[in-house]
């Protein structure tokens, strides 16, 4: 039976919970997260999104014709997102030229490595990355200021619809993938879950960015 996004979630619930439920997110929800911790995450997430944009471009290069429109829409949204990150950093007086933390560097290296994988693997990883953000910012519930706009950006219904389209495209690719590609897709899903958990945690363990 072909692998699917839903079967991955059902087979690995603990890994996915680690990717989407974390004290960083519950701290945003409760208001207990320190500003310096959030700033650390925000700068690193900007660096991540720059490399993620490159990843989506590479996925687009291997995608079948009927998947191009969805991926192009995603790239357009990422352009706006990078500009938004720059505006948020300016508001908080943050230096976006900060070097990547080791956790961010590992995630970016993983995304770059996907270029050597079959499209089914790339599509699965792309869906998993976006779904982790979508779920992570939705699960705690409505976020209070100053985190409301962050939750609204990644937890809004329009973004959920986009993630569903990515899941459908990943499922279509997995349905015709061979056993080796399906196994690699499962490994990529688990690696995304591991890296997402580490990325949230980085806000607590990395050298903090001041208020």
Q: What residue ranges define each of the domains in the chain, with the CATH number in brackets?
A: 5-205 (1.20.910.10)
What are the strands, taking DSSP E only, across 127-180? none
pLDDT digits (tens, 9 = 90+) for 167-191: 999 999 999 999 999 999 999 999 9
Cα gap 19→28, rounded to integer Å: 16
- pTM for the model: 0.95
Pair 202, 38: CB distance under 8 Å = no
Among 209, 194, 199, residue whose Cα is nearest residue 14: 194
pLDDT digits (tens, 9 = 90+) for 8-58: 999 999 999 999 999 999 999 999 999 999 999 999 999 999 999 999 999
User: What per-residue confidence (pLDDT) applies to 206?
Assistant: 72
């Amino acid at each position: 039976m072909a692998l699917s996004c839903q079967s991955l979630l059902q087979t690995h619930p603990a890994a996915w919970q680690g990717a989407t439920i974390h004290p960083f997110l519950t701290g945003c929800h409760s208001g207990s997260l320190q500003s310096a911790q959030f700033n650390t995450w925000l700068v690193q997430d900007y660096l991540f999104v720059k490399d993620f944009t490159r990843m989506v471009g590479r996925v687009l290069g291997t995608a079948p014709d009927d998947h191009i429109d969805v991926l192009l829409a995603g790239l357009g949204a990422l352009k706006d997102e990078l500009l938004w990150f720059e505006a948020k950093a300016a508001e908080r007086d943050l230096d976006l030229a900060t070097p990547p933390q080791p956790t961010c560097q590992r995630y970016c290296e993983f995304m770059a490595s996907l270029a050597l994988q079959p499209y089914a693997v790339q599509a699965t990883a792309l869906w998993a990355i976006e779904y982790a953000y979508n779920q992570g910012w939705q699960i705690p519930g409505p976020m209070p200021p100053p985190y409301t706009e962050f939750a609204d950006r990644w937890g809004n219904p329009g973004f959920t619809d986009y993630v569903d389209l990515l899941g459908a495209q990943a499922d279509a690719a997995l349905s015709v993938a061979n056993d080796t590609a399906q196994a690699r897709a499962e490994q990529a899903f688990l690696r995304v879950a591991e890296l997402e958990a580490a990325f949230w945690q980085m806000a607590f363990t990395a050298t903090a960015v001041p208020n």
